[in-house]
Structure 1
């Protein structure tokens, strides 16, 4: 396995996602993370939003204390790069876009998604 330079990893922005989706081929690790841990990662590193829904961007802004904008970009997570994911507790029906209030109602957790290889 190729070793990544720690300086390069420390300079990579934390990606913000609204789902645990592999953005490219690789090996990923997903684990639970607290809001406090997520805030600390964002303070330590810069971040880039790949949040595709306005209500999720609002929720992450409120919860993380930073201005997260909806940003429907094609994002490719790099080896060594971390992502913070707001993962809903239930999958909405096809075609349904939840409001900020509905996100709170169904519940969510934060995940740390790391691309290992």
Structure 2
């Protein structure tokens, strides 16, 4: 397996497999997420401004909205902001709506 230390931590606004592979998804605390970003840096694949704002504040890092086509590498870790409720189709949530719905962080690792 590739060393995760050579990759920046990817940031997603959903647990989406970006390419074929084997993935592991687990809970991660805010403090653990902050430590990973401090240690490895990050690359944002956050597609919504409100999500970028929430993540910036909570993770204490400048996180930009960045609608890119991203492909997670084998050995690369990603931090995902996962909403507690799936919004209706086509709905773009405000920061206040994200806070009201609630969310958790997940660690998504591509194993193979």
Both proteins in one fold, TM over 0.5: yes
Secondary structure at 1:44 match in 2: helix
Separation (CA, whole Å) in 2 of partners of 1:70 and 1:107: 20
Trace 1:25-36 onto structure 2 (pairs within 5 A): 25-36=20-31
- 1:48 has 2:43 as partner: yes
Q: Rg larger in 1 or in 2?
A: 1
Name structure 1 gaps, 5 residues minimum.
Answer: none
Q: CA RMSD in A?
A: 0.6
Name structure 2 gaps, 5 residues minimum.
Answer: none
Separation (CA, whole Å) in 2 of partners of 1:83 and 1:49: 10
How many aligned positions are there? 112
- 1:38 has 2:33 as partner: yes
Structure 1 runs (4+) greater than 4 angstroms displaced: none
TM-score, scaled to structure 1: 0.94
The answer for the alignment partner of 1:68 in structure 2 is: 63
TM-score, scaled to structure 2: 0.98
The answer for the alignment partner of 1:15 in structure 2 is: 10
